[in-house]
Structure 1
């Protein structure tokens, strides 16, 4: 249906002497759900009765739109770049701008949206980013020589705190509610003081000849792993220690695939003592297949690649 076609029908039936109600009823038979409303038919019939015969709306008066003005768009962009946290209510106080025009410029002209800052382990210096990038590329070079051999010889280990009473996550506390119902509330609770440190060798592959080929150990830079005594003992066992950049939990396999999966089912549970914690954690490890460890460990390749692509910046899933 052409834009002005219904107006022509109204004009024709008006000239035949039809009332607004009769015109609307006739148009409903032809156009069905696409028919103009009765009020619109009445408005156009009145126009024709007063001698206004054009089938298009007259130009509307009022302030001209400023959203297409390059000068106005640049002004809004400059204000945002000057203060990334500036609000639309502040920007609209500029001469000639309204809340609606500012919103339209930001979304339709600048293609910008306001998002919350994401937490990162550390605000990296240029040197730290370069170190992360270079070490990631170094690991990829080593991996590309023989990927199957690389992962076949790779062992990683880490440690993590397991609390006797660990809080549930915000995601876990979500509840369904009606639109008119008040949102659920919960008091802020501190984690329990009682806890136990579990150190676990994972990805222990029972592969014949692994020690003969030479074990490659990938661990983070925690003192328990990087102290002189630990390094000496590791090398005495004949292990190769792969370099790991500082402040890089996103590149440590345990931190991005093992511990989060292990701790999720423990959230919100209250344990009586450390023996209960140990039993539940050991049960969880016993249910994991060898394939889950292998698959999780191989994700480090993607992490190294992404670190290089991001010039050493942190990797998060949304990238």
Structure 2
């Protein structure tokens, strides 16, 4: 029973002539621990004796909201725009009104809400934003000239570390629990020291080449050029006719990718290089699509050797359907468009 029902019973028993003590004993015998206290019953019996009819709460006049003036709203807005990290208490103290009224003005009247800053790869300069904007516009124009031809010619690549032990994501660690039962716990797991560098070349049809860096070797210009030559041979075998149409090759701006030697090898292979702005993983299909899904698949798995890691990654890629890869590539033009609309800012989704 809620408090209104309690009051109705108290009023009924009072009208029957019962005393507060008798009413309390009656209701306690019937309702047990959910019965109202003796003090509550005594207060309501006193109210009914004074002639009160209603069992509803009386309307409260409250304090007039004289603080919500246009002048105060303007002052608060100016303070927030000058320093968006000010607390409600700091603003209230500066204006000279209550924290409750300040919070109401900020949220209800001015429409502000306080959020945490999101992590981005880099705080972009004006020049870097302009570069991202112009590159996105140019790539989008190339795509829109012939979308089907663009998707069929597009080949992208990137490197990623694959660890022997990749922690689960928060989403993966979720589990059902009953109301009132304790929340499950798990220890924090860090990335393992054991890891393998994978260089992945892929397009809308699937994986073309995956190279795993051998222990003791590093990716330098010579190594990367050898990968480009291997890529060309794999394309000949797996994508007949694509070399004649000219591969539209996409890579990021890592130093080894943009060295004079690597750029010369790209030209020698007959690839057309698609521009990519620096500090832009949000515009690289491997970074925003392929690798996050790979890491999610590996989350919570434990490997003891590099060979086990390689086998797991190869098996994962082999199980994927062609539509999976096509979806990742087709998402790129939409990101270029959004980047252009945002004036070069990072694209979240």
TM class by smaller structure: 0.7 to 0.9
Secondary structure of 2:103's aligned partner: helix
- 1:253 aligns with 285
Whether 1:119 and 2:119 are equivalent positions in the alignment is yes
Residue 227 (structure 2) pairs with residue 195 (structure 1): no
Q: 1:204 to 1:251 in 2, by over 3 A?
A: closer
Partner Cα separation in structure 2 for residue 221 and residue 164 of structure 1: 27
Report Cα offsets for 1:25-72 as digits up to 9, x if no partner: xxxxxxxxxxxxxx9x9999778x59xxxxxx7883x64213531122
Q: Corresponding residue for 2:337?
A: 305
Q: Is the 8 A contact 1:153 1:213 kept in 2?
A: yes
Farther-moved stretch of structure 1 (95-104 vs 255-264): 95-104
Match of 1:282 among 296, 314, 318: 314
Distance 1:92 1:147 in 2: 56
1:21–1:282 Cα change, 3 Å: same
Residue deviations 1:117-139 (CA, integer Å, cap 9, x gap): 10000000000000000010001
Tell me the distance in 1 between the aligned counterparts of 2:248 and 2:114: 44
Could you tell me which residue of structure 1 aligns to residue 245 of structure 2? 213
Q: Deviations over 1:272-313 (max 9, x none)?
A: 100000000000000111121111101100000000000000
**2:94 and 2:181 mapped to 1: Cα distance?**
39
Q: What is the aligned residue count?
A: 281
Q: How does 1:67-216 map to 2 (within 5 A)?
A: 68-94=68-94, 96-176=96-176, 183-203=183-203, 205=205, 206-216=238-248
Cα distance in structure 1, aligned partners of 2:270 and 2:78? 59
Q: Encode CA deviations 1:146-165: one digit per residue, 9 max, x unaligned.
A: 11111111111111000011
Deviation of the 1:192 alpha carbon: 1.5
1:17-36 maps to which residues of 2 (within 5 A)? Answer: 21=12
Change (3 A) 1:157 1:235: same
List alignment gaps of at least 5 residues for structure 2: 1-9, 16-40, 53-57, 206-237
Pick from 275, 285, 289 the counterpart of residue 243 of structure 1.
275
Conserved 8 A contact 1:203-1:290: no
Provide, for residues 132-187 of structure 1, a one-character-per-residue CA deviation record: whole Å limited to 9, x for no partner.
00010001111111111111111111110000112222333345556656655544
Q: In the alignment, what sits opposite 2:347?
A: 315
Structure 1 pair 72/199, CA: closer, same or farther in 2 (3 Å)? same
Could you report, residue by residue, the CA deviation over 1:194-251 in whole angstroms, capped at 9, with x for unpaired residues? 1110112112745442111111101111123222222111111110011100000000
Normalised to the residue count of structure 2, the TM-score between the two structures is 0.71
Gaps of 5+ in 1: 1-18, 25-38, 51-56
Match of residue 264, structure 1, among 296, 313, 324? 296
Q: Distance in 2 between matches of 1:93 and 1:110?
A: 18
CA distance in structure 2 between the aligned counterparts of 1:58 and 1:245, rounded to whole angstroms: 63
Give the equivalent residue in structure 2 for 1:295.
327
Q: Which moved more, 1:227-236 or 1:89-98?
A: 89-98
2:214 aligned residue: none
State how far apart, in whole Å, the 2-side matches of 1:181 and 1:100 are. Answer: 35
Give the structure-1-normalised TM-score: 0.78
**Runs in 1 of length 4+ with deviation above 6 angstroms?**
41-47
Cα gap change, 1:304/1:67 in structure 2, threshold over 3 Å: closer, same or farther? Answer: farther
Distance in 2 of aligned mates of 1:69 and 1:117:
31
Other structure's SS at 2:158 match: strand
Task: Give me the CA root mean square deviation.
Answer: 3.2
The 5 A counterparts of 1:4-19 are: none
Larger displacement relative to structure 2 (111-120 or 82-91): 82-91
